[in-house]
Amino acid sequence: MNPSAYIGRFAPSPTGPLHFGSLVCALASFLDARHHQGQWLVRIEDIDPPREIPGATNTILKQLESHGLFWDGDLLYQSQRSDAYNAALAQLHRDGLSYSCNCNRQRVAALGGIYDGHCRQHQVGSDSAIRLRLPETERDSTITFEDLIVGAYPQNLCSEVGDFIIRRRDRLFSYQLAVAVDDQFQHISHIIRGSDLLDSTPRQLYLQGCLGASAEQTAAMQYGHLPLAVNGEGQKLSKQNHAPALIPGEESSNLWLALEWLQQAPPVELRSENSATILSWAISNWSLAKIPNCAEIPAPNSV
């Protein structure tokens, strides 16, 4: 592999400190990049102020550094990218690919969450949500990609998703739009993240095509979706489920446990080494093929 061809990224939202589940994602993306002599970027996805916690960004960055997960280049903050997202919205509007939607959540929920195009004849307005117009035919709306962990993953956007929101009614940009724009802007080639985002990938690939990426470019994108780390009740480790923050001073243990969880078989004696030594071993021995293709794996009891 040409080292310059690999650009990976970790993209946390500042809704709280890192926990074991987010460390697993950060570590896996970091190791995959370093194993292939690629770049590893960090992007702060801070475009949803109502969900964000003051000071969380600094906490997350310090946690990454304390675990030896140092990123390349400058940080990218989505909160500073409004001009780029507005330009993307304008392009989609010019191309006839977007429209305003005034449907409320109750109506969409009654449809089973798959939007039926009810507002497709509306023009784009300033006080409405904006949806992306999907193609009419099943062939054109089916996106399939080969996940590095899960394998082939097809999704028919029309029948399984429907026209989806790219700007919310409160004028906040959607996650799908911001990610598609920024992955193109940063020339991201490899994305290793949690399987809770697996079904978002076809939308992001389709959006990139709408925004000018060629079929060859989107086909070259590599995704690997990790199993979810779950607690004793089978719930995904998340801030919403009160997953405990990583404990300062436990970095070596955290890394070793994360490597074990990722099925990398770290030697027991490595657990007492410092972060740099653990990461050096992990980079040399990293293998995505060892990660099981399953929906979830219980988190260690000690985290």
Q: Which domains does the chain have, with CATH numbers?
A: 3-79+228-298 (3.40.50.620), 82-186+195-226 (3.40.50.620)
Average pLDDT, the chain: 93
Note the pLDDT of residue 302. 65
Pair 162, 115: CB distance under 8 Å: yes
**What mean pLDDT comes out for the span 227-240?**
81
Q: Which segments are annotated as binding site for L-glutamate?
A: 9-13, 45, 175, 193
pLDDT band at 236 (very low <50, low <70, confident <90, very high): confident
d(CA 43, CA 236): 22
Pair 25, 194: CB distance under 8 Å: yes
Q: Which segments are annotated as binding site?
A: 9-13, 45, 101, 103, 115, 119, 175, 193, 239
Q: Which segments are annotated as binding site for ATP?
A: 239
Whether residue 140 is predicted with pLDDT greater than 90 in this model: the reply is no
Note the pLDDT of residue 122. 80
d(CA 128, CA 166): 11
| Range scoring the smallest mean pLDDT among 94-98, 133-137, 272-276, 287-291 | 133-137
Note the pLDDT of residue 243. 78
Q: How many CA atoms lie within 13 A of 253 on its CB side?
A: 9
d(CA 210, CA 214): 9
Q: At what angle do helices 275-285 and 20-35 cross, to 10 degrees?
A: 60
Note the pLDDT of residue 125. 67
Whether residue 141 is predicted with pLDDT greater than 70 in this model: the reply is yes
Structure tokens at 158: 């029309």
pLDDT band at 241 (very low <50, low <70, confident <90, very high): low
Q: Which segments are annotated as binding site for Zn(2+)?
A: 101, 103, 115, 119
Pair 245, 20: CB distance under 8 Å: no
Whether residue 37 is predicted with pLDDT greater than 50 in this model: the reply is yes
pLDDT, one tens digit per residue, over 11-23 is: 999 999 999 999 9
Percent with pLDDT over 90 in the chain: 83
Whether residue 248 is predicted with pLDDT greater than 80 in this model: the reply is yes
To the question of pTM greater than 0.85 for the whole model, the response is yes
